[in-house]
């Protein structure tokens, strides 16, 4: 239609209508709320003082007596109050589901996957995944997959980088590594993203774009904008549709390959789901959820941890001293049992995610009018967001040194001691607690140990990211400038 003169006029009129509706909607909201916070959000004036939206939110929450704020123009209550978090995720769990609004925002990307549904669909996927992930056999399989990828892909890549004296984007490397790992573990297939002769796969590239554009939908003041753009198939919505189409094609190819190879006796998670699910669209959505959980979050956690370790050599040294004490001086592959004895390494991983959680915030929607523990009233249909990034920066929770990277805060007589998940909701908490938590931590620790014992990794000072990370829009935290580093063999720097 848009190729004919009449079609072009129709599209132009539709776009003008969208703009008028948007201006009216935003203008109405601005007239309804003239508070400083809402005006700062609408005009983006917060960006004059803060590099990231999450840092502005953390500032507002830190200065709020209740550690809760309202962004009225978004209909969003944001909290960093642990009592509120427990109320939302546990006490009144059924009154704060993901909700239809959230499912609509992420529906094109995540479909009916576990992160985007409530009710029976969520319960089924949780039971299936929980049952499989608690098996000793699946944990052993995950350990084998991670170690194979480290020994045969990750270490050779860093050795080659060292020989060529090249600057390496470690964030990109971790994305490739975690993508290969989750594909092998979840689907029994190997995309070989770390092979230097191959570019990042179309699947991975489309996945990044779909995550970014879906997150931008969630940040929009008015849904009129993205819904009309989707209807007209223009701009960012056209890009999102193309990215999702690529993801869907390749996800369905994964299912086809798994059926062709057989799945009744396979160890990967997809094969186990396929014994109970025949709906290919549903299986496709499950695949995409696996990828979001196992690729993006792990890559984000690794990137932040290595950024912090490069800036805190005393923590890096403490990890190496512990590793030598527990495992000896050689660099042989660590056993699963020995990995569990590395309490300081576990503390460093938790401390890194306290300051830089892979998921910086998470939203629910209120089913019926409610009152949070701090007295904040939440109206039916409004969004409620808890903010792990801001919570990690609260003196009331972590003390006066809350902005410092100090793994020792997690240790008691040298033994790792976790905090309440409602003070540290990095893996969520309550009913929706992350089912892959142990797998993610295992991968995080194995990679960190293998790289630190063999290489010295030095940040390349290039731009503001060297001092403080700047994040790109997305469902998970991603350094906008990547993580450029130089690698040298341990002991030669």
Q: Name the binding residues for heme.
A: 434
Closest CA to 182 of 88, 83, 76, 254: 254
CB 340 within 8 A of CB 352: no
Whole-Å CA distances, 185 to 76, 87, 288, 362: 37, 35, 14, 26
* Whether 476 contacts 300, CB under 8 Å: yes
Cβ atoms within 10 Å, residue 152: 11
**Structure-token pair, residue 18:** 């969208």
CB atoms within 10 A of CB 65: 6
Sign for the CA dihedral angle at 61, 62, 64, 68 comes to positive
Give the bridge partners for 486, in sequence order.
Answer: 458
Q: Exposed (0-12), middle (13-18) or buried (19+): which is 297, by Cβ within 10 Å? A: buried
CB crowding 101-111: b at 16 or more within 10 Å, else e: ebbebbbbbbb
How far apart are the C-alpha atoms of 234 and 462, rounded to whole Å?
A: 36
Where is 363: in which H helix or E strand?
strand 362-365
Question: Can you name the residues that pair with 471 across neighbouring β-strands?
Answer: 479
Distance between CA atoms of 282 and 102, rounded to whole angstroms?
18
User: Which residue in the block uniquely carries the two structure tokens 């499912």?
Assistant: 103
Name 286's Cβ contacts closer than 8 Å, sequence gap at least 6. 113, 114, 125, 270, 273, 277
CA distance 114 to 123: 9
User: Helices 136-149 and 170-187, interaxial angle, to 10°?
Assistant: 140
Using the structure block, give the residue that is written with the tokens 């570019």.
199
The answer to whether 220 touches 74, Cβ cutoff 8 Å, is no
Tell me the CB-side half-sphere exposure of residue 293, using CA atoms within 13 A: 25
Q: Helix (H, G, I), strand (E, B), or coil: what is residue 456?
A: strand
State the binding site.
434
């Amino acid at each position: 239609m848009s190729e004919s003169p009449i079609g072009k006029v129709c599209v132009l009129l539709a776009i003008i209508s969208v703009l008028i509706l948007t201006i009216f909607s935003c203008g109405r909201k601005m007239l309804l709320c003239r508070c400083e916070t809402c005006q700062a959000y609408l005009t983006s004036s917060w960006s004059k003082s803060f590099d990231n939206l999450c840092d502005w939110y953390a500032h507002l929450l830190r200065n709020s007596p209740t550690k809760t704020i309202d962004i009225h123009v978004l209909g969003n209550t944001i909290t960093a109050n642990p009592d509120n978090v427990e109320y939302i995720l546990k006490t009144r769990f059924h009154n704060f589901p993901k909700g239809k609004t959230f499912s609509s925002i992420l529906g094109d990307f995540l479909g009916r996957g576990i992160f985007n549904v409530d009710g029976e669909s969520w319960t089924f996927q949780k039971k299936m995944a929980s049952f499989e992930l608690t098996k000793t056999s699946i944990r052993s399989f995950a350990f084998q997959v991670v170690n194979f990828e480290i020994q045969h892909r990750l270490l050779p890549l860093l050795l080659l980088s060292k020989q060529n004296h090249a600057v390496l984007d470690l964030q990109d490397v971790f994305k490739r590594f975690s993508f290969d790992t989750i594909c092998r573990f979840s689907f029994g297939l190997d995309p070989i993203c770390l092979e230097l002769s191959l570019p990042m796969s179309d699947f991975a590239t489309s996945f990044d774009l779909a995550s970014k554009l879906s997150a931008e939908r969630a940040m929009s003041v008015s849904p009129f904008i993205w819904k009309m753009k989707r209807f007209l198939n223009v701009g960012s919505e056209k890009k999102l549709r193309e990215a999702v189409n690529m993801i869907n094609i390749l996800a369905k190819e994964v299912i086809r390959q798994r059926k062709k190879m057989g799945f009744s006796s396979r160890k990967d998670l997809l094969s186990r789901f396929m014994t109970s699910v025949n709906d290919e669209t549903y299986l496709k959505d499950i695949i995409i959820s696996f990828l979001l959980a196992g690729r993006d979050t792990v890559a984000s956690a690794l990137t932040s941890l290595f950024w912090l370790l490069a800036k805190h050599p005393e923590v890096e040294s403490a990890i190496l001293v512990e590793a030598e004490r527990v495992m000896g001086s050689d660099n042989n592959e660590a056993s699963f049992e020995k990995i569990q004895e590395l309490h300081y390494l576990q503390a460093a991983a938790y401390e890194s995610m306290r300051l830089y959680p892979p998921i910086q915030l998470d939203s629910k929607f209120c089913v019926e009018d409610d009152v949070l523990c701090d007295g904040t009233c939440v109206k039916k249909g409004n969004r409620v967001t808890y903010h792990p990034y801001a919570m990690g920066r609260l003196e009331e929770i972590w003390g006066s040194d809350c902005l410092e990277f100090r793994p020792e805060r997690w240790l008691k007589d040298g033994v790792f001691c976790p905090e309440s998940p409602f003070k540290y909701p990095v893996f969520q908490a309550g009913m929706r607690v992350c089912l892959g938590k142990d797998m993610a931590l295992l991968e995080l620790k194995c990679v960190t140990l293998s790289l630190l014992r063999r290489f010295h990794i030095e940040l390349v000072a290039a731009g503001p990211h060297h001092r403080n990370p700047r994040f790109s829009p997305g469902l998970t935290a991603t350094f906008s400038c990547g993580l450029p580093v130089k690698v040298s063999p341990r002991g030669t720097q």
